[in-house]
Amino acid sequence: MKKLTISVTEHQASLLEEAVAEGKFVSDSEMIAAALKLWEKREAAKAEEIEWLKRDYQAGLDSGPPVEIDFDDLLAELNAKYEKRA
């Protein structure tokens, strides 16, 4: 395991000390490791979402030329479908 020296704000230091004092973490190092794991998961989720958006964007491009739709007609059609269900 690599040993690092980090600087934190007074507020962050208070959060670390409080979490350890309350027994939420065994040490400052454990809390920092947990924060890094959470950050890593968030970054992975963001990357996954970007890939999903890229795939869907490409699927939209591949689906052919755009088709103009009249909003009022579309809304009337959806309302009619909804009324049939009810």
Per-residue confidence (pLDDT) for residue 86, from 0 to 100:
72
Q: What is the CA radius of gyration of the chain?
A: 26
* Residues 31 and 20 sit within 8 Å (Cβ to Cβ): yes
pLDDT score, position 1:
85
Residue spans of the chain under pLDDT 50? none
Single-letter amino acid code for the residue at 53: L
Domain boundaries, the chain: 10-85
- Predicted local confidence at residue 72, as pLDDT: 95
